[in-house]
Amino acid sequence: MTTQDLARIPAAKPEISEADIEAAVRVLRSGMVVQGPEVKAFEEEFAPVTGAAHCVAVNSGTSALHLSLLALGLGPGDEVIVPSFTFAATANAVRLVGAEPVFADIRRDSFNLDPAAVEALVGPRTAAIMPVHLYGLPADLVTLTAIADRHGLAIVEDAAQAHGAAIGDRPVGSWGKAGCFSFYPTKNMHSLEGGMVSTDDAELARQLRLLRNQGMEQRYANEVVGTNTRLTDVAAAIGRSQLQRLHGWTEQRRANAAALDAGLAEIDGVVVPLVGEGLRHVYHQYTIRVPHDRDAVSAKLTELGIGNAVYYPTPVHRLSPFLADGAPDPRWDLPETERAAAEALSLPVHPALGESDIDRIVGSVAAAVGSRA
């Protein structure tokens, strides 16, 4: 059999089951489709995943980040320390409230914020730190929390890729003032589009509820300037249906990652994902490093029918909205970020993979790395 006979293994495979469809149809038939009882139930059911006391559902992960910063009162004159090796939404949220993102470097062993780099950037304007749990691996919240406490800063967790990830037995989303999740179709679970903020602070939760609904708790008694970033009950019903399968999917992702680790660890020229002691990685992505000629390996894998992707080829501080006078701001010294952008390569790890798919991925990576020389 040639590779042409084999089906392509996709990089990601959004799930929509009959149960999800039935849940959506049930709400559509009820006629009560806007934010209502399904959203409330989704918030209550998702809270245990985050370990926080309150959850507030919104229409996207980006809105979760944006409203969290608004609710914390951040705005012009404030700086927020973020990684540059992330999806642009993290830094966009900072800019959307009028604050300035300050880009800190990451660690070579985790792709996540380097706490020492973060602390070196704390200044008089610093108001918050926004760690990203990239690819589903928790950032070092133990050290970052100590830094935040020392300097009186808020932590807003970008947990958009990390539903159910944990440090010890404490889930991500319960460490910062707020945790922000995304339910975009390629994330570990979805509601078509959607997001959630987790928090232990009842007053912050109230502010978030106001901000997502034009500043209203009572209709037409607007208290603050707000947005319309509500989730629909149709989306919430899909999210609730998906949530029932989240744990099983996560275990399957973790098992797939373990099988990939076992197969790939022996290949010269490939560095498998490192997971620190006590961290629960939920493998939104399974991301290897290919230190030599990553793009050739990526192209060869595509040729062999193995979906793969580079998250993220351009660090955020190099994207045009974040340039200073057309060039990266010379304040940012991010060698590990640049290295990661050149080396990172994500392979399929989604729960729909079978054992033969894993074997094929491992064999194809060996062939792709071997064929470069």
Residues at the interface with ligand PLP (CB under 6 A): 60-62, 86-87, 89-90, 132, 158, 160-161, 182, 184, 195
Which residue's CB atom is positioned nearest to ligand PLP? 61
E strands in 178-330 = 178-182, 195-199, 279-280, 286-289
**CB-nearer residue toward ligand PLP: 60 or 207:** 60
Tokens of 17: 């089951």
Residue 88 CB, shortest distance to ligand PLP, in Å, is 8
Q: Which is nearer to ligand PLP, 195 or 239 (CB)?
A: 195
Distance CA 350, CA 119 (A): 35
* CA 88/CA 288 separation, integer angstroms: 21
Measure CA of the first residue to CA of the last residue in the chain; give whole Å: 26
| Nearest distance from C-beta of residue 236 to ligand PLP, angstroms | 14
Give the whole-angstrom CA distance, residue 289 versus residue 312: 12
The nearest distance, CB 99 to ligand PLP, in angstroms, is 16
Q: Please, which residue, 132 or 264, has the CB nearer to ligand PLP?
A: 132
Burial profile 255-264: b = 16 or more Cβ within 10 angstroms, e = fewer: bbbebbeebb
Q: Which is nearer to ligand PLP, 6 or 16 (CB)?
A: 16
Report residue 2 as tokens: 């040639």
SS3 letters for 270-308? Answer: CECCCCCCCEECCCCCEEEECCCCHHHHHHHHHHCCECC
228/211 Cα distance (integer angstroms): 8
Shortest Cβ 157–ligand PLP spacing (Å): 10
Of the two residues 239 and 269, which places its CB atom closer to ligand PLP in the complex?
Answer: 239
Q: Which helix (H) or strand (E) holds 55?
A: strand 54-58
Chain centre distance of CA 350: 15
User: 233-264 and 18-30 are packed helices; what angle lies between their axes, rounded to 10 degrees?
Assistant: 170
**How many CB atoms are located within 10 Å of the residue 58 CB?**
31
Shortest approach of ligand PLP to residue 190 CB, angstroms? 9
The beta strands (E) that lie in 61-152 are given as: 79-83, 100-104, 126-129
How far apart are CB 154 and ligand PLP at their closest, in Å? 17
Query: Minimum Å distance from CB 202 to ligand PLP?
Result: 25
Q: Residues with Cβ < 8 Å from 4, sequence gap 6 or more?
A: none
> Which residues, other chains included, contact 62 with Cβ-Cβ below 8 Å and sequence gap of 6+?
89, 92, 93, 182, 195
Q: Which is nearer to ligand PLP, 285 or 364 (CB)?
A: 285
Q: How far is the CB of 57 from ligand PLP (least distance, A)?
A: 12
Q: How far is the CB of 320 from ligand PLP (least distance, A)?
A: 19
CB-nearer residue toward ligand PLP: 160 or 365 = 160
